[in-house]
A and B are shown apart, each in its own frame.
Chain A
């Protein structure tokens, strides 16, 4: 090869300039068209890795974590009546237009879970990857977080867990169900929206202390 005598650095500079010039024509961002790998999606569904349990979510909120967006998919009026603290209200129809980044962790919930699951699929189709649904939806949240119950014939471990859950329930303005009282499903009033103050400053000490003990 009869190239002018270039030093290694000059050759590297030439290569990098060529690559840079070619990159002028690059379109490295993929457009709105997404190829869905149905097998992959099916596996996600089967392994249930797309779920966040209500207790996990409660833990995140108590800790004041801000690395996820919580989306309430219900109607505005339902949202106004009660929603999980820190949730943003977006209906399924409004979801495609809602400014969410594809790098964000997104947690969806609806009343039961069907709308959330459907919205999950829609978001997959738009290339959102880190999308999760709250297991059992708002109903699951009520059962597990707001009004936890002690199972009949509870072991010591169950009792300890219940104690913790009760502290978390009170944090969110709910109340634990009376011991062994799974059979008393009196219609409960949902906590007032003002009651649970999720973000950092004003959080009551109880659940936090629990956390610290855990460490």
Chain B
């Protein structure tokens, strides 16, 4: 039964080892998808290349279906899966800040580490920026604490918020993804500078 950690198959130390292994794997595949290059990532925003959208949405749909089916056949206890609590407005603002950083710097936090690992100087600078930004955030935290903790909704899921069955949400996300992929193909044909 999964989650393995919650069922005590391994302890804290082992979970850190596994986190390292999974993180390394994640970085490897980010790099293989071409996301170790800021050009490739920035191309997403200029609509030349929709790889970021396609890779991320593929990951979402794969995980969504995997979790749904594992839960359905009883191998995964979904109520034990940790969900990041929702703070709606602060998270939207945070997402916009991250988006601006993504466009300006050409990386998101994960891909900057992948770039760093392949020895790219811009990745190195970006990762340094993440460190500096984290420190700066910690320093200003007392002043923005109220906002950061506003709109607390707890650990919620779309089916709960929208009062829809789980399956409807899964199907809707899958349809949106497939439609999105088709649209992405069209956009690439239109804006892509492929020969």
Contact A23 B65 (CB under 8 A): yes
Which residues of chain A are within 8 angstroms of B175 by Cβ–Cβ distance? 17, 20
B6 part of interface (Cβ distance < 8 Å): yes
B178 part of interface (Cβ distance < 8 Å): yes
Count of A-B contacts with CB under 8 A? Answer: 83
Please classify how large the interface on chain A is, using the bins under 10, 10 to 19, 20 to 34, 35 or more: 20 to 34
A16 part of interface (Cβ distance < 8 Å): yes
A28 part of interface (Cβ distance < 8 Å): yes
Which residues of chain B are within 8 angstroms of A130 by Cβ–Cβ distance? 6
A65 part of interface (Cβ distance < 8 Å): no
Known: A103-B79, A103-B82. A26 touches B166 (CB 8 A): yes
Interface size on B, residues (CB 8 A): 33
With CB as the reference atom, state the residue of chain A lying closest to B3.
A129
Q: Which of B42-50, B67-75, B105-113, B120-128 contacts A (4 or more CB under 8 A)?
A: B67-75
Known: A102-B79, A103-B82. A23 touches B171 (CB 8 A): yes
With CB as the reference atom, state the residue of chain A lying closest to B70.
A28
Majority secondary structure, B binding face = helix
Bound Cα distance A101, B153 (Å): 13
B174 part of interface (Cβ distance < 8 Å): yes
B41 → A minimal CB distance (Å):
22
A205 part of interface (Cβ distance < 8 Å): no
Contact with A along B57-83 (1 / 0, CB 8 A): 000010001011111101011111111
B22 → A minimal CB distance (Å):
19
Contact B174 A17 (CB under 8 A): yes
Chain A residues 12 to 49 lying within 8 A of chain B, measured CB to CB, are: 13, 16-17, 19-21, 23-30, 40, 44, 49
Known: A16-B61, A20-B65, A25-B167. 14 other contacts (CB 8 A): A17-B175, A23-B69, A23-B167, A24-B170, A26-B68, A26-B71, A28-B67, A28-B69, A28-B71, A29-B79, A30-B71, A30-B79, A129-B80, A130-B6
Which A residues fall within an 8 A CB radius of B? 9, 13, 16-17, 19-21, 23-30, 40, 44, 49, 101-103, 127, 129-130
